[in-house]
Amino acid sequence: MKFTELAIPGVILVEPTVFPDERGFFLETFHEQKYRAGGIAASFVQDNHSRSVAGTLRGLHSQRRQPQGKLVRVIEGEIFDVAVDVRRGSPTFAKWVGVRLSAENFHQLYIPPGFVHGFCVLSPIAQVEYKCTDYYAPKDEQSVVWNDPDIGISWPIPPGTAPIVSPKDESAPRLAEILDQLPEYYSE
């Protein structure tokens, strides 16, 4: 199992060891001791599952007072998964990282609390499962518009194609409009 910290500290790409044979494959999708040793010391309390069609873009989402860390994986299809640091005062504030996660590569992305998260679907269908470090709290939800020019995410969307976005995500504010609502960065 391989753990790689990406360009933003705390965001970790997980490459599980997969054991394929003529019957199919086997892998561990979570093992607390191994993940802790790999830099993910989170305690997960909720699992979520979504299914989306090609061209869907979900995000960018977080929670204010109950921030969630997320461990994301794809069980069908492929997505481009994105984490944006929104911790005020962080040296990587408003910076983003993105990776391709698929059912074929088995990779996972750990996104710590204090980040907004989103993904776009690159395959005809994508099913995404993710573990969360805190419970979903609808009244605590916070969003940033997916195409905020101050963040500048390079979504792999074909030119001239509009992603399928929920009305809530389409009308989300820019990061600059919610600065006073964002969590403070604390170095360890």
Give the Cα separation of 89 and 153 in Å (integer).
20
- Indicate if 61 belongs to the active site: yes
Dihedral over alpha carbons 87, 127, 167, 63 (to 10 degrees): -30
Tell me the residue type at 41.
A
pLDDT, tens digit, for every residue of 99-142? 999 999 999 999 999 999 999 999 999 999 999 999 999 999 99
Report the range of poorest mean pLDDT among 58-62, 149-153, 155-159: 155-159
How do residues 6-64 score in pLDDT, each as one tens digit?
999 999 999 999 999 999 999 999 999 999 999 999 999 999 999 999 999 999 999 99
Q: Please, what CATH class does the domain formed by 2-181 belong to?
A: mainly beta
Question: Which residue out of 35, 107, 117, 130 is catalytically annotated?
Answer: 130
Tell me if residue 110 is catalytic. no
**Letter string b/e over residues 27-46, b meaning 16 or more CB atoms within 10 A of that residue's CB:** eeeeeeeebeebbbebebee
Q: How confident is the model at residue 1 (pLDDT cuts 50, 70, 90)?
A: very high
Catalytic residue, from 61, 107, 110, 117: name it.
61
Q: Is the pLDDT of residue 183 over 80?
A: no
State residue 158's pLDDT score.
86
Residues in the chain: 188
